[in-house]
Amino acid sequence: MTMNKKISKSALKDTLRDIFGFQAFRESQEPIIDAVFSGRDVFAVMPTGGGKSLCYQLPATMLAGTAVIISPLISLMKDQVDAAAENGIESAFINSSMDANKVSEVYEKLRQDKIKLLYIAPERFAMPHFLEKLKTLKISLFAIDEAHCISEWGHAFRPDYLALAQIPKMFSGIPVAAFTATATQKVQADIIEKIGLRDPFQLRASFNRPNLFYEVKEKVNLQDQVMEFLKERKGEPGIIYRTSRKSVEETADFLKSEGISALPYHAGLSAKARNNNQEAFNKDTVQIIVATIAFGMGIDKSNVRFVVHGDLPKNIEGYYQETGRAGRDGEPAHCMLYFGRGDIPKIRYFINQVQDDAVRAIETEKLYQTVGFATHNICRRRQLLGFFGEAYPADNCGTCDICTGSLELIDITIEAQKIMSAISRTGQRFGAGHVIDIVTGSNTKRIRELQHDQIKTFGAGKDKDKRFWRSIIDEIVAQGAVLQEGDKYPILTLTEKGNEVLFGRETIRALKKEELPARAKKKKSAGGDYDTGLFEKLRIMRKRLADDQNVPPYIIFSDKTLHDMCRSYPVTPEAMTEINGVGKTKLERYGREFIDEISNYLESNPAVSAPGV
């Protein structure tokens, strides 16, 4: 690498404060930025909301030339360019939605060195003429977003990403920074090899999103459960994920019938309808988007306060990325999963259509992992982080339903022995459904044919329903006493630990969880309590300003920034510059209006005590 630019720490901090309005870097940002300035390639795994865009935007403002940002969805590009413009950074995008004249205008600005950030889709790199044009420009760096799309081991492989391997070969002296929010170690190695990164600086930031609260509930009557969940979140923006187009439409129609503003999003809608619905959600015109997993990568909305999964996700990677749409501003957000065992055969049906045995086995294992996450009485955060190879150090995360419930350990040895006895007495050759039928004394044709109604354990648990015995199986599988093995028809077998429990040489206990009232801290943010009355006034003014500019409200100021204002009540330009997210450009554009609104609020509410007033 030939580029090596020395930048002083004070210059970095000045740029961070003046352009982006931040007083300090987040963890992991500064070493990535230092690596870019030293001319090194970078590979970084950073969670959604971890501030990865700053890692290429800040160097782009300080280096000569244009930074080229490869972004997978054109629906996101306008928001990214608008957000950069609000910070006073000259930006543009080129994509297939533009006519030839507009593309020519962008190229002319590039030739005149008037653009600092250029956003493009990956398929552009398959066009030889585009690469030739890039060679004539002064490029400061390349940034590849959603880099996991280049890996066939990832959960969102896109063949057009493979063309990006040309970048390091054709632009030998320019650093390439690749970013993703979801990559196991195996996927990470594959991404680095596929792109051809040159001795990259590698960083795996923590996958932990401490502002997200994870909760799982048994799916009983989904519509009633969703309405109960939404009662405490009036006006808050959120996403509800459903598996099928039909369930998306039904849920959106139901919410509208209940007076909640909601719109559907799925691949069966026209491109125009999808774009209009996403725009309405981005601009806070509609509260809720109900979507299949087709919705997600094209959204940069920072103030999503909840994500609900009405159906079981296919894999943990997808679940992590989808829940990652919530709380990108760092403020508290809620991730609710409604889990019903009826979801499992639906997913299994699609997995069984896969012809490749190895791929089918991988998808089946991923499904088991997701079921485990939903059913095991183990800290949700610890399970999620463990999937990505990260250990959670604390005993209690304080932000999941397992850790915040009133927990009591109860002895389930006798119940476990009944299940294990049925497994053992039938030769360890049957699945959970058949074992439960035996324990509950079900009079089925299959049980009679196999004479399993003659074994000692038949009907030993008929005093409890099948749901109870399913939970016992989930628990003993989670604790390693029983293995669930097999692809199409998984069977239950005893482990060494299971035999010890069965023969009374070891006990087994499980957590009994009593749920506490939901959201006891509803009006707290990451920085503590804030003035909700002022927040509502600032939120309304932000929406008006955003509509005037034709941009989403979070681009003007994030919820986090408004919360900071609602704690410290800044009524001078100097005080406003201390607010997280208020840079020089935004202060000039919006500072006076927000200061006046806050001053008027304080005059109308003399009991409010504002620091320094």
Phi, psi of 93 (to 5 degrees): -135, 155
Would you state the pLDDT for residue 295? 64
Q: How many Å apart are CA 198 and CA 437, to the nearest integer?
A: 58
Region 439-464 average pLDDT: 93
Mind listing the pLDDT tens digit for each residue in 379-393? 999 999 998 888 998
Q: Are strands 524-525 and 528-529 parallel, antiparallel or unpaired?
A: antiparallel
Asked if the domains 409-514 and 525-604 are classified in one and the same CATH topology, the answer is no
Residues of the chain with pLDDT > 90, as a percent, come to: 57
- Domain 9-204 part of CATH 3.40.50.300: yes
Q: How many Å apart are CA 491 and CA 476, to the nearest integer?
A: 14
Would you state the pLDDT for residue 395? 82
CB 417 within 8 A of CB 501: yes
Read off the pLDDT band of 527 (50, 70, 90).
Answer: low
Residue 450 DSSP code = T
For residue 487, CA distances in Å to 36, 348, 437, 495, 532 come to: 45, 10, 21, 19, 52
Would you state the pLDDT for residue 368? 83
Read off the pLDDT band of 372 (50, 70, 90).
Answer: confident
Q: Around Cβ 531, how many Cβ atoms within 10 Å? A: 20
Ranges of H-type helices in 205-262: 222-231, 245-257
Q: Residue 507 has which token pair? A: 């006990």
- Domain 409-514 part of CATH 1.20.58.110: no
The more confident residue out of 260 and 607 is 260
Region 95-120 average pLDDT: 91
Which residue type, as a one-letter code, is found at position 8?
A: S
CB 61 within 8 A of CB 84: no
Residue 122 Cα to chain centre, angstroms: 22
Reply yes or no on whether the pLDDT at 579 is more than 90: yes
Residue 385, helix vs strand vs coil: helix
Q: Which residue(s) pair with 264 in the sheet?
A: 290
Reply yes or no on whether the pLDDT at 30 is more than 80: yes
Would you state the pLDDT for residue 9? 86
What CATH number does the domain located at 525-604 have? Answer: 1.10.150.80
The full set of domain ranges for the chain reads 9-204, 212-405, 409-514, 525-604
For residues 150-189, b (16+ Cβ closer than 10 Å) or e, as one string?
A: bbeebbbebeebbbbbebbeebeebbbbbbbbbbbeebbe
- Domain 212-405 part of CATH 3.40.50.300: yes
Would you state the pLDDT for residue 381? 95
Would you state the pLDDT for residue 306? 97
The more confident residue out of 396 and 480 is 396
CB 324 within 8 A of CB 48: yes
Cα end-to-end distance, the chain, whole Å:
54
Ranges of H-type helices in 550-583: 553-556, 559-568, 573-576
CA–CA–CA angle 567, 568, 572 (5° rounding): 145
Mind listing the pLDDT tens digit for each residue in 232-283? 898 899 999 999 999 999 999 999 999 999 999 998 999 889 889 988 999 9
Region 69-82 average pLDDT: 83
Would you state the pLDDT for residue 5? 59
Would you state the pLDDT for residue 522? 36
Q: How many Å apart are CA 448 and CA 443, to the nearest integer?
A: 7
Region 589-609 average pLDDT: 88
DSSP output for 15-43: HHHHHH--SSPPTTHHHHHHHHHTT--EE
